[in-house]
Structures are given as C-alpha cells and as structure tokens.
Chain A
Amino acid sequence: MVKQPQNDGFVVFDHVQKSYDGETLVVKDLNLSIGKGEFLTMLGPSGSGKTTCLMMLAGFETATSGDIRLDGRPINSVPPHKRGIGMVFQNYALFPHMTVGENLAFPLEVRGMGKDERETKIKRALDMVQMYDFINRRPAQLSGGQQQRIALARALVFDPSLVLMDEPLGALDKQLREHMQFEIKHLHESLGITVVYVTHDQGEALTMSDRVAVFNDGRIQQLAPPDELYERPDNAFVAQFIGENNKLEGVIETINGAEAEVRLGTGELIAATPVNVSKKGEKVLVSIRPERVEFKPEMMPPGAHMIDAEVMEFIYMGDLFRTRLRVAGHDDFVIKSRNTQGQTMLRPGEKIKIGWSPADARALQP
C-alpha cells in the first residue's frame, strides 16, 4: 500500500527504540527508510516521539536499541559534529555574540576552510536567502523571518547532504510562514538535498513533503505521500489528525472485499470501504471528509446510500459554506460546499438527505 519513490535508503532507522527512564518507550520499534533527495516530514502531536527521532538522527540523543544508518554507514556512535548534518532549530539558535557573517563562517572555520573559500560560500548561501546585505548585522537586529533565513543559510552553507529542521517556522506569523514554506521547498528542489522536517502543523506537512510520517504514541501510524494520507487514512488516528473529518459509529452488516455496509446506532445503513476491519459484526468508525458529502439529489455519486439529516447551523466563510447537521443522532456532522454560482444556502431547521461515494467513507477500527 505504501508508495516508496526512488528509495535508496539514504537514511535508515532500523528497529530503533528509545527510552529515557528505562520504564517507558518514547520511540517504539521505528523502521523508516528515507531516500536521497526526499523531503520527509515527521508529523505528530507533542510527545509523539517525532522530535526524539530527529534528535537521534542529529546525534543529540542515542538510540536505546536498534541502528540508525546514514548513507549505509551506522552512525549510532558518531558524535554530532562528525555527522555532517545541517540543522535548523525551532528558535533559530543563531549565536547572539556573532554577526550574521560570523555565524555562517563558524561551520566553515571549524572545518579549517581558508578565508577566500569561506567568503565565497557565505556569499552564495546568503544570496540564496536574499540576505547578503545583512552580513554585518547581529541576530538581535533582525526580524523573526530574517533570522529564519539566516538559520537556513547557516545550515546549508557547508553543503550538507542532509538537513534536519525542527519546527523551524513555529515562531512566525501565518503569512510569513506560508511564504517560508514555499522558499524552503524551493531550496530543497534546487539544491537536491535530503530534508527531514519535524512539525505538528499538518498543513505545513501536506504542502511541503514528498512523504509524511504520522507519529503517535511512539510509532509511525502511517507513512505516505500527502494525498494518500489525506484521502486514504490507514486508521482512526490519522483520519482524525489530518484534516477535518466526520465520524459515524456502527457495526458491519455485510462485508465483501472492498465493499461493506455499516448499520449505524440509529438504524440507518450506509456504504463504506473497509480499511482495517474484516469481520461481520465488528464495531467500526466510519470517517467521511466534509467536502465529500453531497446533499443535492442530482449530484449524488453512484452507489451512494442516502440518509436523513437536519440543518442545525449555517456558516458563511467566504469561499466556502460550512453547514452543521444532525445525522444519526449526533449534531456535529459538518459538510463543506464551495461558494459557486447558484450554490444552495441551507437554512437551519431544513430537512435534507445526504449521501457520498462508498470510496470516500472509510470504515476504520475505532
């Protein structure tokens, strides 16, 4: 099911476990292979183990068991400064007592590089982020976005083949964040570097990544490209965590390969695609994306079961309409429709019938 484009195993986590206190595992049996040039995002709520994985890769934490390999070489016992991995930190970690230029020169100096070569590389790196004019400023004299660019340039100036980013855009405002997402993605593509990116922002993960590893409770819940992750979540956690999602509880009535019928608590029967359920009579959680729900009879996809719904609330959001419905006894069912010409604006109290393609309703283990 997992698609693995050009994966040559540039970075490999092989049965990696991590425990801080000897009693609980923060990372439970992690297996992950990242291809050269890939942009992989580790996404998950805080405490899910994603940052620990990044720190193990950077060398600031050691794996309790298992192997981490970089370019085929086990790096468990290689100290961080010999790994040659660029890293961008959440709070930028620009050295406050050095100018921008000195910050960038630092990794080159410790590598014993000559002055001329250093200057060339610094100029190239700063030009890359359009910050050459700021070479003599101190970090404290720069805005958050500017500091972010410098941090990026510093992580790239010594030409690492792997760059780790630990929630690098967390401190920026929304507009700047979106702009920087684009810039980072652009740099990734033009330099051909491998990026491992950690974030808890699913939007960021979806926009930037080749693949996303969704972490929860010390495990990778799903590893997939963004579209697959969104449209075909493997389990209830991923479905919940990525995007907005309606849930309906029920029991499997019939199951036949890739098709199933689910009887809801209130008696309605709906069609769904079984994902990780197989037996008749099993309890399931059916997950449907709000934008995949249809309420106009003429637009109803083929094979859709229709059930009754009552409009509770209608919210005008500009480009979208968001309508909250009472469905099968729950009044938190949300549908979204695009504000197109002639789109219907539902009114509270209105009784309608809704339906969806069985492929969009995924029956998952609760």
Chain B
Amino acid sequence: MAATDTQPDDPQVLRTVDGVPLKTALAVASRRARIRAFFLVVPLLVFILLTFAVPIGQMLSRSFTDDKFSANMVELGKWFDANGKAAPDEAAYAALAADLKTASEEKTAGNIGTRINYELPGTRSLFTSAARKAKDLEPPFKEAILALDPQWARADLWAAMRSASAAATLNFYQAALDRQIGADGNFEAAPENVQIYVKLFIRTFVMSVVITGLCLLLGFPVAHLLAVLPLRHASLLMILVLLPFWTSLLVRTTSWMVLLQSQGVVNDLLVALGVITTDGRLEMMYNQTGTIIAMTHILLPFMILPLYSVMKTIPPSYARAARSLGATSWTTFRRIYLPQTVSGIGAGGILCFILAVGYYITPALVGGADGTLISNQIAFHMQKSLNWSLAAALAAMLLAAVLILYWAYDRLVGIDNMKLG
C-alpha cells in the first residue's frame, strides 16, 4: 500500500522482508486488531449511547429550553425581536391576536398558557379563553383584547411573554432554586410559603448522609464477620445479606409498611411487651423515621459487599502483629484495621449515598409528608404537574451535586482507592 510512496532505496527506513516499511506494516497490523476490538464493543457502545447518553443529553437540554410559547407565538416573537423591552403598542396586540388565532386553530393555546403559567400562576386560562374567542377579534386589537380581559395589560405578563419568546431559558433553574420573576421582571427569592426545592435538596443530602452512616454502622460488623467466619458459616450469612436483592423492592418496602405502621407488627409487639401503651404507639411510618429505616435496610447490601471484598484481603496477621506489638484491641481496630478498610468504606459510602440521593419508591411509600426526598418532587413534576423542564432542571442539579461529590471524593481519597468488589 503505502510502500509505493516511499523511496525503496532510502536506507533510513526499516523494512519487513517483503519490502513494506516497518512502520506501515505495524500500523496496518495493529489497525486490524483495533478495528476488530472496536467491533466487539460496538453493541455496548450503541446501547450506552441510546439508553444513557442520549436521554441524559435530552434531559439536560430540556432543562434550559422550552418552546411551548416561542414555537407557537411566532408573530409576537418577531415583535419582541424588533422592539425589545418597549411597552406593547397596537402592533404588539395585533401580533398577539394573530398568534392566538393560530393557536385556537392548532389547539396549542393550552401549551402556550402552561408555559406562561409557570412564571405567572393563574394566567393559563387567560390564553385558553382568549384563544377560544380569537377568531372574532377585530382591530384595533389592543382595545379588543383588553375588552376580553383587562389583565392583558399587566406589565409582568408582557415581561413573562418576552422572556418566554426565546426557547432557551434559565427560568427553570431559577425556579429550582426557589426564585421567581418579580413584578419588575427581575429574579427574586420566591415567597417563603412556596419555597421548597432548596430545603428538599438539603433534606435529601442530610437524610442520605444519615442513611449512609447507618449503613456503615450496621454493615461494618457484618462485613467483618463475613470476612473472618469459616467459609461454611460465611456463605450462609452471605445468603442472608443478599436475600433482599432477590426480593422485589416494592415487596420489601410494603413489608416494612406492615411492620412499621401504627397498628403494625413492631408496635403490636411493643404493646404486648408493655413497653408502650396502646395510646403511645410509636410513629415509625409516614415520616423520616420510616424512610430512614426502610432505605437503610434496602441499601445495606451495597455497603456490606464492597466492605467485605476489602476486608477479605486483610490477613488476620496484621491484627495479631499489632496485638503482639502491644496495642489493645481498640487501638488495633482504630489504627490498623480501620485504615485498611478505607477503600471499602469509600466505595460503599459513595454507592449508598448516590443511590440514597436518587431514591424514589421507598420514600414515596413510607415517607409521608416529611420523609419525601427531591426525587419525589422530580417525579411529581414528571407525572402530575407535567412540568418536565422543571423536573429536568432539578434532576440536572441533582446530577451536578453528585458529580461534584464524586470529584471531591476523588480529590480527598482518590477514585483509584475505591474498591467495589
């Protein structure tokens, strides 16, 4: 191939026995191997692209674009482009009327109204009812539209429409940070009684830390037992640890509901034992306690398994050496055993934490009002309020937070030190 291009007499070029320059031959040979290797990973690559990269990309793009207004209000968009922040004149109202007419024909008034309703609650019906009457509008449009509803003159409405006339927007991130458009068109903190996301984020992180900590406290001794018990007993214990994995998440969560509810097994037992009275039944469900108990149980294996895989590799002679050198069993644990399990603690901790931060079903079922997490709010916007852009913005912030955490972990402990088993 490339051999024809090079001078055959050039003594500098090393050649194979059939005269091909060595470099070319090597490139050809290794390229074939590379292509073959690439074909082997293609299915996985395509799979990951389609099921992971693309959806996440879509989610991210949705979080700062929403064309429900801009795509359907073309004329008004043009007017905003030409006039900027000027007060709406007759031409603006004419454009509005034209767009409303189109919207009523194409049944998009609801979408348009929904978009503005995100910014100014209560304005959705302004659009839907105006669209219903749009075909009867006659010039002068300003007068005609204001006759439909004087609210059309509101300055904040026009500010919201102006900001919505571009598909790209940071409004959803601002909403996700509990901020809103004020009367003057600037962003300001939302009223106290509708602030929710920042608090939920904080709660989600605090609860995740608590759950991860509980998993570590409960899982560490179990993992240690697993690592030091004779194989026969260890396999039995391992089955007990893995058992929850073989049961559906929903079944496990509902089992916890049966156990924890105020007329449930645990309370009945405590009443029967005389620990509490019937009136003093503990509230362990529909609150944070329920979420913490159920999630700790569900995430426990994710802590135990990495810990176990690390502990398995620590020979008992380290502890013996430390004891023989004069250390008490506590000092031995603290200074010799614990530091060597750090990689397992890190892996288990980050795994539990990331799973806890994104957990949805369990808090939804047992969390009640104050045990729900940010993921439940994302689900609310996905399924009920149908504000997917806000859901995407919240999800993107959650993703960013987790990535930052991961980065910090890498800086502090080092990802290379993480051992997942």
Chains A and B directly touch (beta carbon < 8 Å):
yes
Task: Write the residues of chain A forming the contact surface with B, with a CB cutoff of 8 angstroms.
Answer: 58-60, 79-87, 89-91, 93-97, 106-107, 110-111, 154-155, 158, 164
Q: Contact at B315–A86, with CB atoms within 8 Å?
A: no
Specify which of A81, A91, A97 is in contact with B324 (CB 8 Å cutoff): A81
Q: How far is the CB of B76 from chain A (nearest CB, A)?
A: 67
Q: Is residue B326 within 8 Å, beta carbon to beta carbon, of the partner chain?
A: yes
CB contacts under 8 Å to A, within B303-331, are: 315, 317-318, 320-329, 331
A85 to B326 Cα, complex, angstroms: 8
A93 to B336 Cα, complex, angstroms: 11
Q: Is residue B387 within 8 Å, beta carbon to beta carbon, of the partner chain?
A: no
Q: Contact at A158–B325, with CB atoms within 8 Å?
A: yes
* Inter-chain contacts of B328 with A (CB < 8 A): 81, 110
Q: Contact at B327–A93, with CB atoms within 8 Å?
A: no
* Inter-chain contacts of B321 with A (CB < 8 A): 87, 89, 93-95
Which of A58, A79, A95, A154 counts the most chain B CB atoms within 10 A? A95
A94 to B335 Cα, complex, angstroms: 13
Q: How far is the CB of A128 from chain B (nearest CB, A)?
A: 17
A83 to B331 Cα, complex, angstroms: 16
Q: How far is the CB of A171 from chain B (nearest CB, A)?
A: 13
Q: How far is the CB of A94 from chain B (nearest CB, A)?
A: 8
Given known A93-B315, A110-B327, A111-B326, contact A60–B320 (CB-CB < 8 A): yes
* Inter-chain contacts of B329 with A (CB < 8 A): 81
A60 to B315 Cα, complex, angstroms: 14
Task: Write the residues of chain B forming the contact surface with A, with a CB cutoff of 8 angstroms.
Answer: 315, 317-318, 320-329, 331, 335-336, 339-340
Specify which of B315, B320, B335, B340 is in contact with A106 (CB 8 Å cutoff): B335
Given known A110-B326, A111-B326, contact A93–B340 (CB-CB < 8 A): no
A106 to chain B: closest residue by CB = B325
Q: A81-B327, A110-B326 are in contact. List 18 more A-B contacts (CB 8 A).
A: A59-B324, A60-B320, A81-B326, A81-B328, A84-B326, A86-B325, A89-B321, A91-B315, A93-B317, A93-B318, A93-B321, A94-B321, A95-B318, A96-B340, A110-B325, A155-B325, A158-B325, A158-B326
Which of A58, A79, A110 counts the most chain B CB atoms within 10 A? A110
16 contacts between A and B (CB under 8 A): A58-B320, A58-B324, A59-B323, A80-B323, A89-B321, A91-B317, A93-B315, A93-B321, A96-B340, A107-B326, A110-B327, A110-B328, A154-B325, A155-B324, A155-B325, A164-B324
A102 to chain B: closest residue by CB = B335
* Inter-chain contacts of A86 with B (CB < 8 A): 324-325
A90 to B320 Cα, complex, angstroms: 12
Q: Contact at B324–A80, with CB atoms within 8 Å?
A: yes
A58 to chain B: closest residue by CB = B324
Given known A95-B336, A106-B335, A110-B331, contact A89–B317 (CB-CB < 8 A): yes
A164 to chain B: closest residue by CB = B324
A116 to B320 Cα, complex, angstroms: 27
Q: Contact at B340–A97, with CB atoms within 8 Å?
A: yes
Q: How far is the CB of B233 from chain A (nearest CB, A)?
A: 15
A111 to B318 Cα, complex, angstroms: 18
* Inter-chain contacts of B320 with A (CB < 8 A): 58, 60, 80, 87, 89, 93
A81 to B318 Cα, complex, angstroms: 13
A96 to B317 Cα, complex, angstroms: 12
* Inter-chain contacts of A80 with B (CB < 8 A): 320, 323-324
Q: How far is the CB of B282 from chain A (nearest CB, A)?
A: 42
Q: How far is the CB of A98 from chain B (nearest CB, A)?
A: 8
Q: How far is the CB of B150 from chain A (nearest CB, A)?
A: 74
Q: Contact at A106–B327, with CB atoms within 8 Å?
A: yes
Q: How far is the CB of A110 from chain B (nearest CB, A)?
A: 5
A87 to chain B: closest residue by CB = B324
B339 to chain A: closest residue by CB = A97
* Inter-chain contacts of B340 with A (CB < 8 A): 95-97
Q: How far is the CB of A119 from chain B (nearest CB, A)?
A: 17
A55 to chain B: closest residue by CB = B320
B340 to chain A: closest residue by CB = A97
